[in-house]
Structure 1
């Protein structure tokens, strides 16, 4: 199927009004292009490692939308043009010009799967759900995962480093806390290696769904892996649900700017001698994170590891 792509040249001021107008006309899949920078707070909320380096924001923007080439474009476009003229009465639409091009329909949701195949971290096989178990995998820990397009697969350097640390420090029977659990991959790996129980937290409600789905896919019961939505750093209700001085291992593969305040709070949940395994730290933030850990007198840094530009810091509660 082919789609006609239309692009409205406009202003950032008018973007929301135009998007709303297109939605009322039944047009879906709206795409916005502008140079408005993310704020630091937005970056933290969206779990973005780097704020994109965009050209200066000149107030211009482009709103793209798509119409099935089999539909009557002329009728729809007449309504779009009338809508733009109405918007001019109370906001700065800018040029309001519309350009047209054509694009082919693609299965964006599933096409990425052709690029992801089974790989290993140590003796762990990480396998997409759509690939079969092989003879080679027998006798090894196997993690089957279907992350969709929202969460990690284990292939990123930061996840690999935490998994290697879990392989090193889990001896069997541990209680594990997974902060910012995402797809639940770290919790599932911990349980595969013999941890008794894992408890995950995440700010994104979709992470709760993904974690449960991946646990089920790996024959992990709801009793073995519990996941809740919320912020362990400053939400007392979440802290209470996690429990105090009850974890042998805490893992957190999240942003450096989140790890810093987390390092001041997390030891109240850890047993004495428990390990705090962290990553998600770009090398330019390494010293910042190390300094933050050292401010907590109960934490002793035992390892700092590197993989490419990324850093793992593992500490121990005294």
Structure 2
């Protein structure tokens, strides 16, 4: 018998299960189904159900108190002439395009610093990770408003150098910058991921480059960045998705108004105002789907562009 025939015979013998094995396989299948049932119920009732409901509501006039009234494309036509929606999109795009790259730069710089083998690395890593745990909380947003207020800590420090500060969170020209700083401050999560990626780069690459006379900068651009590019891409995608959904900081700093002069009117905050302040839930559902489309488009664009700068081992 040829080797190919022996392989086929072995394959058939593996597929012939005894009655006891078949019974055991059925029991395993039933057990798996039992354990998966809560997840499937949650997926249908908490995720898929509301998503489909919001898709229907996006084509209705619904105020939470009366039955939805189907209006077709009325909400989409309203979007096209909604000036506040345009403002919310502009504010959100500026926030995302500025804060995400800055946060990644700071996180990567600190990861490179920690990767040099500092004493007490675990302690520094834990301390630097804390902002990611606290940055999205209401308490930190309230503290941020106080720090950048007219009588806040920032102006007190500036007064030591004879500089008269302004009301950073009350000025339309500076309030968005304070939220960008807050987002950059929450660099802990991407920093830890960067540090893990740096630890996976073989040291012999750097040793070989140093032997050939490559400088630290050349090693960084020719070894570290290419080998770390999948991690950079991962953090970039997660950062974009999270930043487009930013809400708490703007809500607290502006007391839910998006002010001053709509300078902190993030898209998610405008969606909240339409749905839960104005009770225009149908329009809010349409806005939610617009946000989903925008995030999906940016994510798809990143995946398309990744083939030009992301390098994998294979």
TM-score (ref. length: structure 2):
0.19
Looking at CA atoms only, which structure, 1 or 2, has the larger radius of gyration?
A: 2
TM-score normalised by length of structure 1: 0.19
Say which structure is richer in strand: 1
- Higher relative contact order (CA closer than 8 Å, sequence separation 6+): 2
Of Structure 1 and Structure 2, the greater helix share is in 2
